[in-house]
Chains A and B, each alone.
Chain A
Amino acid sequence: MLSQIVSALGVVVGAVIACSAYFYFSNKILDLALPVKDGDIRAASRNLNRRALVRPWLFIGPALFLLIVYLVYPVVATFILSFYDRTGLQFVGLANYKWAIGDREFRQSIFNNILWLAVVPAACTFFGLVIAVMTDRIWWGNIAKSIVFMPMAISFVGASVIWKFIYEYRGGNDVQIGLLNAIVQTFGGTPEVWISIPFWNNFFLMIILIWIQTGFAMVILSAALRGIPEETIEAAVIDGANGWQIFWRIMVPQVWGSIAVVWTTITILVLKVFDIVLTMTNGQWQTMVLANLMFDWMFRGGGDSGRSAVIAIIIMLAVTPIMVWNVRRANRELKGH
């Protein structure tokens, strides 16, 4: 424990020093290489211009380098690997893609992922918006907001462990220690093994992510709602609009941009969902999703780099359009201001 802390501290301090040293000394070297002397004005101004050209690259260089090494190269390597066999040595063409289309588990994962995409972003945004609007009106709104936001601080695995106890099932006549089954039993129902009911168990897993992410949606949307000019709402009230109409016709259109941001952010998160499924079911009882399937093929049982690469590429392809749209929309908004 102590040695980990010491080495972590060492890395943090060392990295900060190394970064500062890099910027300081590279700048110094640049200044020395392209001197600005008082005597020759033309040379000095030329050197100044050159410095201005080189300096950004000098500063952005390390980031660019890391981006290529840790992002661009792996993507290219993964793409190439997806055309090779399990060992990554034998070229097999499109065989891995063909396999993916025909594989039952793969299709199951796609179906489950679509299910997640349809439910989780919508539910998070909806609950986040509703909670944001409602908590604005009450005196204990900030306390309520803090409570809703709190699950954000819990890791996905930690949250899954908490929810495992909510879905816990005890057989026979044992006392149910799972919250959900305890409630069901109190009202005279029969306890169920919730996470092993095919199809519906997907929703029980989604609830965990909704529980975590609603706080995020709420915070962003709450800030956006504050930005709505009071006059528009007042005008609507004077015109005789009821609460429902104010919400849908006045508030929602004005925070539309923020809703889109929240929605797309959570959509990207959902495409990568992994920890919850791994902790709760590991894809059993037909809850497999793409990220878990990829992990399964790569790290369980010898490792099939070809097939897991195919799945990784598919996840990336699914995420990319949403990313592009998000970035473009953000750019457009920036230009508008």
Chain B
Amino acid sequence: MKKSFLMGVAVAALFAGAASAADLKFAPGQDAKFNWKSYDEFKAAHADLKGQPLTIFGPWRGEDEAFFQSVLAYFTEATGIDVKYSSSENYEQQIVIDTQAGSPPNIAVLPQPGLLADLASKGFLTPLGDDNSKWIKDNYGAGDSWVGYGTYKGKDGKEAFYAFPYKADVKSLVWYVPENFEEAGYKIPTTMEELHALTDQIVKDGGVPWCIGLGSGGATGWPATDWVEDLMLRMQPPEAYDKWTTNELKFTDPAVVAAIDEFGKFAKNAKYVDGGVAAVASTDFRDSPKGLFAVPPKCYMHHQASFIPSFFPEGTKLGQDADFFYMPTFASHPELGKPVLGAGTLVSIAKDSKTARAFIDFLKTPIAHEVWMAQSSFLTPYKGVSTEAYANPQMKKEGEILTSATTFRFDGSDLMPGKIGAGAFWTGMVDFVGGKSAEEAAGEIQSAWDGIK
């Protein structure tokens, strides 16, 4: 009796699993904000792959995994391909182990261009072909930049396009409370000069302009690296930024020191930051934005990436209680355009197959982006998607920053070797805010970098 009951439960669970996999979140052809035409075309073109296997390995777990599964459901529905998605807590190590052991997944999704370049140089990845790189170039905002992050040297030493960008994050954002700005009569700055003027104006009016918190336990210092990277892109051409992340341009270079000093103008001025300079390094980055919502406001602006609303006080309505603007550029550097700092995941083929190619083709359909966009936590630089599909106006605005960017650059500290990007750079920024000069701090980071060469 008991045994048959358990069997019944197991069978029911099996069916429940199967049923939810075939469940499409948004019924095809119904909602006009989705591009169903692209879906139907994709379906017609890939009908011959029914039942064939495809394995995907990626970084998404928990909530994100559920979102990705909902996207995969459309892929399965259209092609009949038998998709298996897996992930690991230590996905960076896992993919290295899997590829070296000779049992790679068909598709590997990773957020680190450096790691992908490493895999490509050992011959573990298959080039995606020039038509795909051309497609990215034509269809993505700042397409050239994205092609760059997917292009690596292979085992033969030749450069090829290996990684297809899918899902992005934006970091060049300044968060504020619209109500506070309205009451004080402040306007959103459109240039860095205006941002400086606004900062001074707030001080003159008796307020504190910025909340800056670098605290993050053992990772204390990283929010400052985002600041410096953002400023670097606004003061130097993207080529200099690229050289900086590989140390061709040394940390002690005047260009880098100037960017650090520019950050210091905000963070090392006791009148500019809530709690004074001493609070900058010790305030936890998760607590830092709370000053925006204090009454009276403890600060008016907060520079942070698109993820930060999850640390806003409960019940904060985005767009109404809190909003953001694009971290402006210098009017004195019009030639640098509109650079955007961010991050993203890149899709590559580790074991070639028809199904893997079909999956890359699937990512080119707007529907593969729109389904996730419509749920949450997904931004895309793909210009062909309907931005109406974004779950809320804030995400739509963030998405538009990506599609209208002239330059996109990956978080520099993620591109540097771990000892620097997740170590010396952090410590250097903590020391800088703690009183060292930009030259001294940069010198120490550089000597750490020299130490690992």
Contact = CB atoms under 8 A, between A and B. Distances in A.
Interface of A: 99, 103-105, 169-172, 174, 192-193, 195-196, 278-279, 281-285, 296-297, 300-302, 304
Interface of B: 208, 217-221, 274-276, 278-279, 281-283, 298, 417-423, 426-427, 430, 434, 444, 447-448, 451-452
A172 B279 contact: yes
A284 B221 contact: yes
A147 to B, nearest CB: 29
A289 to B, nearest CB: 14
A311 to B, nearest CB: 14
Contact of B220 (A103, A172, A282, A304): A282
B273 to A, nearest CB: 8
Given A169-B278, A284-B427, 12 more contacts: A99-B451, A103-B451, A105-B448, A171-B282, A172-B298, A193-B279, A279-B217, A282-B218, A282-B220, A285-B430, A302-B417, A302-B419
A282 B419 CA distance: 13
Contact of B419 (A172, A285, A301): A301
Nearest to A86: B452
A99 B448 CA distance: 12
Contacts of A281: 218, 220
A191 to B, nearest CB: 9
B284 to A, nearest CB: 10
B289 to A, nearest CB: 14
Contact of B275 (A105, A172, A195, A285): A172
A195 B451 CA distance: 27
B41 to A, nearest CB: 43
B274 A301 contact: no
Nearest to B279: A171
A278 B220 CA distance: 11
Those 7 A-B pairs whose CB atoms lie nearest each other, nearest first: A171-B275, A301-B418, A171-B279, A282-B218, A301-B419, A172-B275, A193-B282
Contacts of A99: 451
B281 A193 contact: yes
Given A196-B434, A282-B218, A170 B279 contact: yes
A330 B449 CA distance: 47
12 contacts: A104-B447, A171-B274, A193-B281, A193-B282, A195-B282, A282-B217, A282-B219, A282-B220, A284-B220, A301-B420, A301-B421, A302-B417
Contacts of B279: 169-172, 193
Contacts of B419: 296-297, 300-302, 304
Main secondary structure of the interface of B (DSSP, over half): helix
A115 B449 CA distance: 28
A279 B274 CA distance: 25
Contact of B430 (A104, A171, A284, A296): A284
A285 B417 CA distance: 21
Contacts of A196: 278, 281-282, 430, 434
B16 to A, nearest CB: 20
Nearest to A195: B282
Contacts of A192: 278
Contacts of B420: 301
A172 B274 contact: yes
A281 to B, nearest CB: 8
Nearest to A171: B275
Contacts of B448: 105
Nearest to A103: B451
Question: Which of B208, B218, B283, B417 has the largest number of chain A CB atoms within 10 A?
Answer: B218
Contact of B423 (A170, A193, A300): A300
A27 B441 CA distance: 67
A169 B282 contact: yes
Contact of B218 (A195, A278, A285): A278
B404 to A, nearest CB: 34
A74 to B, nearest CB: 20
A106 B283 CA distance: 28
B418 A300 contact: yes
Contacts of B283: 171
Nearest to A297: B419
A166 to B, nearest CB: 14
A283 B447 CA distance: 17
A300 B418 CA distance: 6
A86 to B, nearest CB: 8
A275 B93 CA distance: 24
B275 A174 contact: yes
Contact of A300 (B221, B274, B278, B422): B422
Question: Which of A104, A170, A171, A285 has the largest number of chain B CB atoms within 10 A?
Answer: A171
B422 A301 contact: yes
Contacts of A172: 208, 274-276, 279, 298
B434 A301 contact: no
A297 B208 CA distance: 40
B295 to A, nearest CB: 14
Contacts of B447: 104
A171 B276 contact: yes
A296 B448 CA distance: 13
